[in-house]
Structure 1
Amino acid sequence: MPVRVRAPYAGSDSLGLPANLQVIGIVFVSGKLVQVEANLFDLALLSVLILFFGILQSHRSQREYRMWLVAWIVVMASMLVYSPALRSTGWQMVTECMRVDLLVLGGLVFLLSFVEQQTSRNRLIRDIALLWVPCCVLLNLLSISVAYPWLCVAVILAGETVVMYLAEQLVPEGLPRQLIRLEGLLGTVALLVAVWSGNPSMALSVVLAEVFIACAILLSVSRNSDGAGKWTSVSGFVAWGVLYAIYQMTDIWPSVSIVLGHTWSLPKYMVGFGMILMVVEDDTERISSLSEEYRLLYESNPHPMFIFDPATARFLSANDAAAAAYGYKLEEFLTMTLFDIRPTEDHQKLALELAQLHGGRQIWRHRRKNGEVFEVEITGHDVSFGGTKARFSMCIDITERERLNRELIYSAQHDVLTGLANRLLLEERAQQALARAARDGSKMAILTIDVDRFKQVNDTYGHMVGDECLKGIAARLMTRVREADTLARTGGEEFTVLIGGLTSTRGAQAAAASLLGTLVKPLTLSDNEIAVSVSIGVAVYPDDGADLETIRKRSDKALYAAKRMGGGRALMTTDEQAGEEESAVNIESALRDALQTGGLELVYQPIFDATGRFARVEALVRGRGDYLRKVGPGAFIPVAEESGLIVSLGRWVLEEACRQMADWRERNLPVFDFAVNISARQLVQADYTDSVLQTLERYGIPPALLHLELTETTLMGDFSAMARIMKRLSEAGVLFSIDDFGTGYSSLARLSELPISTLKIDRSFVMKLLESEAAVGIVRAIVNMSRHLRLEVVAEGVERPEHIKLLLALGCHKFQGFYLSRPLSPEALEAAAFAGDTAFDPSPFRGYVPVEDLDAIVSA
């Protein structure tokens, strides 16, 4: 084969083969040897290889395949750039630089395709540029002129620095990184020699050899498989790089040029065919891997899976999970049929199911070896097993899922604290009960229940005790609710009872009375005994409305009316008295009119000492007219509180009591203390202190004669403001009493901060003294506490002489109650108290009180 004479570097071929090695290909055509330029042959063959490779990898997602295709296209572009048309005078230097640059770029794309695949695309582009730019600058400088050796040296050092940096970042540790470092070091030395000797051809050979041998190193360690394709490509890259090193020996051994002419393109084809083989091998390995994965997925799946013959129901295959789930050994399981894992009563149903199997999910009942029946969710598909039609099934035990589902449904429909139905479930059942009542012609009742003054329990004992209190109330109410009815917690301290199947409203009334009766006795919670009451509003279908919303509103309205009347009672919305006499609107209107027209009056209930003599009076407001007299203060006082009339009412009571006291003083009747009840709303008025003192001064009443009585629950409001006002009045001489003590949940710490002079024991404890040891203990504790705090004690609700005996024995020496005296008009009080009569003879009670104490009281 003829070989051209060695030419300068600028005349090298498109794949790095210098012009003196641009050989003539020998093709056998029609029995003759035909000489063709190697460039055209390479271009045609490489085009076919690239086209085939592009088609092969077009539907694959691997990034390295796409990079291989790009690299081959760039290599082919380097050949096209070095076409005869572009090698004319004036363009030869440009085309040579472009050819070299593209060839190096193709090699670098190959090189970076073998790094870790998780490297981002942007970083790959950056790394390729970092490697390519120094190579292009160096080779282009040398191809133009070798007059700038120090600039070339700087470029070489910069480029090799980049190589070492990227090797640390991208090349695996161990031998591959060491080889890249060694190759970089040798390449640097060779490039320096090429620059120093002014040999640009040597520089090109070194760069290309370094790139393609590095490709071989990275490819050898970048893939897990060791197929023929990988090692064919590795060998091709090695040969591709080595040929450039061999080329430098042509000056010493010219015969080498002949060998290079025959073998110059062989490495490229080895790399190309090796890459095609790698794509095919990857597909084969992936398919094999998928088959293995499916087998493992079946055999190692935690869910029971089996394949059975639909015609005979016999099991053809099963995984270990299926045998374990049903309690059999795998060998035993494979001798059974579907009928063996279904309950006997389901066999007929199973036969029908086998006759018309459908895809998708179904719920079946299965049976374990121990007889336990459980529900499973089956996912089934038709498959081919051993060449015959079969059925694949995957079973999921839904026992736990169903349990959790039931728990979720229960949680969604029940109150977390009490376990009662919540508003959602109540609504559902109410709609059903309403429809049933409409269909049957029966009645349905809604009872709305609210705990009276529950906020005071939370404020006094804390929310933990408050929650226990709510649970206790729910338990009490539940004892009086029929199984067919519904008790629900529909708010913080609100409950609702749904009662169906009633024949008359009497049934609803009876149910409400029964519910009220459950809370007669106090709740015992840990160390606390708490007395609670509830208010109930009752509405009945169809009497109070034809739809659920109307009935609910009427029930709420009745509840509010019951609470305005003081609580602890049940009201029907259809009750005429609730609609007229007990209507809050009517009461408020009557009260306003009474304040303006003098329709109120005061009566006075005496308080007696241990000698039976008159000690003090309590002023109580009454209505003069028939309406207010009928509803009583128990109804109009709560309305006054809610409407704000209590301020005007309280001012009138104080004014009238002081006027009456001044009248008695003017007539030289005996001087005595008097008590007036006040509310929290009155006490926190900005001008209340001045108003009280001015009223006393106007009538000439010494402040020490006035006792202002507050209920214990009054102190649950703005305590700091009330304490400040009470102290100002106390400093002026006004006395304070705590009424109904023991029922308001007040704390001793708060009592000790207030200027209290008297505690009045609530009548509920006095009434139970003769029948409850607990009540005796409470009264004894109050008396003992009062002694230590130097407070006076008055017992309310004295109804029997035995009460006086026991109270004296417990140390209480002041009494108030119907046994001693009912509230009296001013005229009656004058006749009884000022005549010097005693309410009772103290001599029979001497045995119940220390003689010296009684004598001291009498002598005083």
Structure 2
Amino acid sequence: MDLTEVVEFAGEFSFIRTGQRDIPVRLVSWPHVNDNKLQVSVLVDLTDTPGDTARSVSHGVATEHETLLEAQEISKVGAWALYPKTGQAYNSPQLLAIADGAGAPADPRGSFDLIHGVHTDDQAKALAFWEELSAGPHGQVFDVELRSLSGECVFLCRAKVERDENGQIDRIIGTVQDVTDVRRLERQLREERRRLHDAQRIARLGTWEWDPRTGRTWSSEMLLEVAGRHEGRFGTLLEDIDHVHEDDRDRVREAWKSLAAGGAPVEIEYRYLRRDDGAVRTFRSHGAATVHADGRTILVGTTQDVTEQRTAVTKMERSSQRFSDLVSVTPVGIGVFDKAERLVDANDALCDLFGYRLDQLRGMSTRDMAHPDEPVTGLQGEESGKHGRHRLPQRLFVRADGDPVYCELHVATSVQDDGETFWLVVFQDVTERRRAAEALRYQATHDELTGLPNRAAVKELLGRLLGKADSERVAVLFCDIDKFKRVNDSLGHDAGDELLVALARRLEGGLPGGCTAARLSGDEFLIICPDIEAVGGVDALATKVASLLRTAVPVHGQLVRVSASIGAAVPSSGTTAGEDLFRFADAAMFEAKRRGAGRVSLASPALMASADRQLHLEGQLREALHNDGLALHYQPVVAGDGSIASAEALARWPHPDRGLLGPGAFLPVAEQGDLLRDLDRWALRTALREAAQWPSNNGRPVSIAVNLAALVPGDREFVDTITRTVDECGIDPSRVILELVETALVDLPSRSRQAMGELSGRGLRFAVDDFGTGYSSLARLKDLPAQIIKVDRSFVSGVGGDASDFAVARAVVDMARAMGRQCVAEGVETATQFHVLSGVGVDFYQGWLFSRAIPAREFRTILSLGPLDIPRGT
């Protein structure tokens, strides 16, 4: 017998295979007589057992053995046995297959190695299992779950020990089951359950089950939490109906009864009062009938807390309704266009804007609505802002009645519920705004009286013309109406305005093509010619303009003859700026005016150089004003006893190169540079500040008189400027005299009279300077709101020998006295003049006979000396 064959144990029988034959045997073992460490084993042949018992047993055992092996293979369970006394071991084929598939090493004893055949992290657990098993009592089953070396397989190991009567281990038997798939399914099931639980928690969704026959119910944990129950079950809705909102109970009760009776699916939304906190929540329940595995019909369903969703939906519905209402009532046109840019819906305002019914507008694009003169464009913008929003500049559309309408489009793209993109377009009617803007621009660039372009428009036009390549052909003519002030003074400002309008119309209608006429201010006109060669040259154009302005114009029933002094200028180089060209023409006009009325002068290089010097001087004067570089001299105004009653402030300019300059040298510069108002403010502030510190003369306070050239009562800020300056300087208003030339007080508007009256009420006085040089009659003296009349020096100089001058002076003094006004004689230089004027009743005198204009310090010295000497001779 070949004992190297594998021995297979099955109970107390075993078979030894020799070739194709199995021999039934019984193993009998006992300790060795002389050495208890040795074991004596004998195999008893059972082949000849009486009654074929052995063969029957052999056949039955073999059949059972085959069945057992097949069951192990199906269940992936391997068996093993170990006999510590004999060292014998048994591994079933399935165990060997499991060990081989797990990559486990063979045990030196031939058994499955539970220590070294498992994952490194599980070896300590395997060792503890083996030690616990080896020390365990007879028949107790121990188990452990271990991973394979690779960690990919999981095995459930079970084993027990069998002990003899002495407590020694007789045999250890066990099984190893591959539970990898089972554990994977368990993990998947746990993961699915976790996901389901998380999803229900997030959705606030609980599940329930109800058996109508038994009345038994089951509720998920999430359902109990949703309903506000910390333990127990949810029960049916009929059992819990008291917690349903009273307004929803009947509806819920009927729906639930219908489900229980017919099993038809039901969906219902209702309000529920939670048990724990009494909060009112909105629930949505679904229920349906299903057949159980045992054939029973049960009802299953879900209950979800949809309070937040319902609140959000309600808010969204209300918001949508508010949006719809807002779109409906808003006065701005709103249209919805599909992705092909065809209108599908619009509010009433858009229909009214274009004069169409909604059914007429549907299907139209913005291209269809556009005016024929408008370039064909769509709703796409060059740059879209946040959320695809952009603004399209003003576009011109046409209404159903043909009227044009300007709109500014605000466009946004959005998405409908079905995913389709659409355009939301707001049509903002800017027609009136555009007209207003055009009107404002017209007002900003045109003269209000004549409608001609003004200085701003001239500057813009010259900038464009001089920026071209042929800028040397540009010509500018500066026109000043001769003796226009006489018309204003004699006939009034309305007559002067009428004359200016008539001249403007003549220029518009008579200038050569391409030439532009503009009004700068007062009686100044400007002619701009873009191509002087096209009109025959500068001389030809100047002659034409002079003839247009040399005419007789009927004004207020009188025929007024006028002419103009004209200065012409052309660019001296390609770099001549518009302001320079304008300045050169202005200087040429002054040159023409010096030569006589109606003359024309062309700006020569010498004249341009002089104009540049004038401009330089203007800059110096501006700097002197800003840096307090001017000075005031004071000329006394004395009474008949020699006491100083007041002093007139006269501006002087200590020029760094040209020495001390009088007003005649720099006032024209100030006028051309528009600095007269600044000069007036400086003189007023300086004079009042210095006069506030003057001592009295002969016991009486000395007043200060300031000439105002540009700051006149007609200005809106006149009263505020004067009042603020007086207050800041701390001088008594009764000491302040404001001198205005006679022509500035003729034909005063009501606002000017009101301003003078307001200041007079505060104590200030007004003086009419150079009276008699204007064109008003003496009868108008009563209308002048002034307290002092100053007789011009041209009449004073001849009172000693010219009867006419004496008569004028005497008439002025008599009328002033009759009306309660004081009279001051200017330019008194001789004792004769003084005595003659004193004889006719002049109140005060001013002139070199008493003192020239002197600096402030010298004037303070004179005041401290008392009255001046009065000449007694003739």
Instruction: Flag whether TM exceeds 0.5 (same fold).
Output: no
Measured against the shorter chain, the TM-score band is: 0.3 to 0.5
| Structure with higher RCO (Cα < 8 A, 6+ apart) | 1
Larger proportion of helix: 1
Larger proportion of strand: 2
With normalisation by structure 2, the TM-score equals: 0.33
With normalisation by structure 1, the TM-score equals: 0.34
Larger radius of gyration: 2
